[in-house]
Amino acid sequence: MPEDGLPDCALPERAFGRLAIVGLGLIGSSIARAARANGLAGTIVAIDRDAGVIGRVRALGLAEEATQDVAAGVAGADLVILCVPVGAAGAVAAAMAGALKPGAIVSDVGSVKAAVVAAVAPHLPPHAAFVPAHPVAGTEQSGPDAGFATLFQGRWCILTPPEGADPQAVARVRAFWEGMGSVVETMTPAHHDLVLAITSHVPHLIAYNIVGTAADLETVTQSEVIKFSAGGFRDFTRIAASDPTMWRDVFLTNKDAVLEMLGRFNEDLAALARAIRWDDGEALHALFTRTRAIRRGIVAMGQETAEPDFGRRGPAPQGTAPPPLAGREP
């Protein structure tokens, strides 16, 4: 019988006896909730260097064990998932490597993969398997209170196993994410970073820039920006509210792919500006028609709702806060 007191037969085949989660923010706390709700772990161990986070984890009952000591927390774990900013992944791997048991599987949730593989893999002992992952899900909220068990349902999770990865370990990580409701895809780390640069990273950079530009406009007061932030600008502010540390690390660790996509974006933006300047309505209409079809394709794949106003419940009564937008990748 394992240390958690549950016989192996009490757990489904895709489950792990002991799951250690390093970093209990939105994603880490959602994994803890989803793993428990779907019977995917016998014992959940929460690890976070922030004492306040550990206190909230205990208050919320998210894990059977909670500690600030990463080495002690991963000891005996069958699966360790790093839910820390990608820039911190290497240091965390180095701190925990000596405590990993033979056969342990290490994974992560970072939005950048090639840099994470380069930072983490050299620290791991030969008796541990490394299967990087990226759940393409989230909200602009952060912290252990922000997570929820259904965050990954119907969302993509991309596995990027490095060359020579243990096929059995890859299969187990795939089954784990499928058990939380994800649709799993496999890519090489480099291909993942190129795809995510245009689908996630550059849109975030554009959102941060547009919101920053609006804030810097001296001819428009802040109250007017907030008051009239309907439609597109409002949605940019949701993206721009994402975790600053996480996204700083994303751009610095995936700089080559991001700069490549920014170069292409700038060329296309220049062409769009030229079409507007020269009253080229046909070019504008052709572009808008093509992009509208892409939006409909995203809805058809179940990655967004076709409800009016993106499924919002309508404007909040005067003097109240608008309803939160949950379940969308920031």
* Residue matched to tokens 């689908």: 199
Centroid of chain to Cα 286: 33
> Running DSSP on this structure, what letter comes out for residue 241?
T
Under 8 Å between Cβ of 99 and 287: no
Interhelix angle 255-277/189-196, rounded to 10 degrees, is 30
Nearest to 75 by CA among 22, 119, 30: 22
Q: Which two tokens stand for residue 92?
A: 């965390």
* Check whether domain 8-187 has CATH 3.40.50.720, yes or no: yes
> Running DSSP on this structure, what letter comes out for residue 27?
H
CATH label, 191-311, candidates 3.30.70.1290, 3.40.50.460, 1.10.3660.10, 3.40.50.720: 1.10.3660.10
What is the pLDDT tens value at each position of the chain, 330 positions in all? Answer: 333 434 444 566 778 999 999 999 999 999 999 999 999 999 999 999 999 999 999 999 999 999 999 999 999 999 999 999 999 999 999 999 999 999 999 999 999 999 999 999 999 999 999 999 999 987 778 899 999 999 999 999 999 999 999 999 999 999 999 999 999 999 999 999 999 888 888 888 888 888 887 777 756 666 677 677 666 777 777 777 777 888 888 888 888 988 988 888 899 899 999 999 999 999 889 888 888 877 676 666 665 555 544 444 444 333 333 333 333 343
- CA distances 110 to 117, 157, 163, 312, Å, are 10, 11, 18, 29
Under 8 Å between Cβ of 67 and 45: yes
Strand partners, 19: 44, 79
Nearest 5 degrees, angle CA 182-CA 163-CA 136? 25
> Running DSSP on this structure, what letter comes out for residue 133?
E
Q: Which two tokens stand for residue 309?
A: 């106003």
- pTM score of the predicted model: 0.77
Task: Give the domain ranges of the chain.
Answer: 8-187, 191-311
Three-class secondary structure of residue 247 per DSSP: helix
CB count in 10 Å sphere of residue 10: 14
